[in-house]
Amino acid sequence: MKTDFNRYRLTSAWRLPVPAAQVYRALREVEHYPRWWPQVREVQRLDADSGRLRIRSVLPHDLVLTATTRREEEAPGGRGGVLEAALAGDLAGWSRWTVRPDGPGHALAVFEEDVRGGKPLMRRLALPGRPLFLANHALMMRAGRRGLRRYLLHNG
């Protein structure tokens, strides 16, 4: 079976010292991501279910993508929920946040993504650039976790 080096299946888990309902609400407000996630440079709401995001981490290129809500399910009793979006543009596929309680006053937010690079340069560099793209993503996710933690603790 041939490996598709242009496909990325990524998972990150963030344990946060606030209740799951608070984390879910913050993650649902995508237009506020630039307030706490440095690599999310811009979010433009397109309509009730979609928006355009401009993202840039360490590598010197922006990714522009359109995210369209596929699923928005808040769990009963403030126990988190699921947020899922279809992605198109420089990344095509889907992403999903699953938020649940993780001990008293804590939450676990799991980010999953299954995407393919859409930019011609990303496709051409899929094999040699893969380690850099993965490292870039890991740095972005680490900064996002730190930023969301700070944001929730100071704006909760």
Domains located in the chain, CATH noted: 7-155 (3.30.530.20)
Phi, psi (deg, nearest 5) at residue 58:
-80, -40
**CA-CA-CA-CA dihedral for 92, 97, 98, 100, to nearest 10:** 170
Per-residue confidence at 61, pLDDT binned at 50, 70, 90?
confident
- Please report how many Cα atoms fall inside a 13 Å half-sphere around the Cα of residue 114, on the Cβ side: 4
Q: Which of 92, 66, 95 is nearest to 83 (CA)?
A: 95
Mean confidence (pLDDT) of the chain:
93
- C-alpha pair distances (Å), 31 with each of 65, 67, 77: 14, 11, 25
- The pLDDT score that the predictor gives to residue 62 is 93
Amino acid at 96: R
- The pLDDT score that the predictor gives to residue 23 is 98
Q: From CA 111, how far away is CA 41, in angstroms rounded?
A: 19
Q: Taking residues 82-106, what's their average pLDDT?
A: 97
Q: From CA 104, how far away is CA 72, in angstroms rounded?
A: 24
Helices and strands in the chain: count of H runs, count of E runs: 4, 7
pTM: 0.93
Q: Can you tell me whether residue 91 is helix, strand or coil?
A: strand
- The pLDDT score that the predictor gives to residue 156 is 62
Pair of tokens at residue 49 = 């279910």
* 66 sits in which H/E element: strand 63-74
- pLDDT for 89 beyond 70: yes
